[in-house]
Amino acid sequence: MIRIDLDVMLARRKMSVTELSNQVGITLANLSILKNGKAKAVRFSTLDAICRALQCQPGDILVYEEGEEK
């Protein structure tokens, strides 16, 4: 299962979800779905924009955990 640690990176960068949403160009609703682990997929362009805004690598926010999806 892939876990999204977006909250961790937002806290490290002292950035709000609203600020990230504005920088990335996606709605708060879609960012919330991603942040809460409810997304089924993420576009590379979105991941690229998030990493650029947070100045991080994809592996900083995407974490693989063994086990079944919930």
pLDDT of residue 15: 96
Q: Closest by alpha carbon to 43, among 51, 22, 64?
A: 51
- Residue-wise pLDDT for 19-42, tens only, equals 999 999 999 999 999 999 899 999
The superfamily CATH assigns to domain 2-64 is lambda repressor-like DNA-binding domains (1.10.260.40)
Whole-model pTM over 0.85 = yes
Q: For the chain, give every domain's residue range.
A: 2-64
The token pair at 70 is: 């919930």
Task: Please check whether residue 70 is in contact with residue 38, taking contact to mean a CB–CB distance below 8 angstroms.
Answer: no
Cα torsion 47, 48, 53, 59 to 10°: value is 60
Q: CA 62, CA 60: separation in Å to the nearest integer?
A: 6
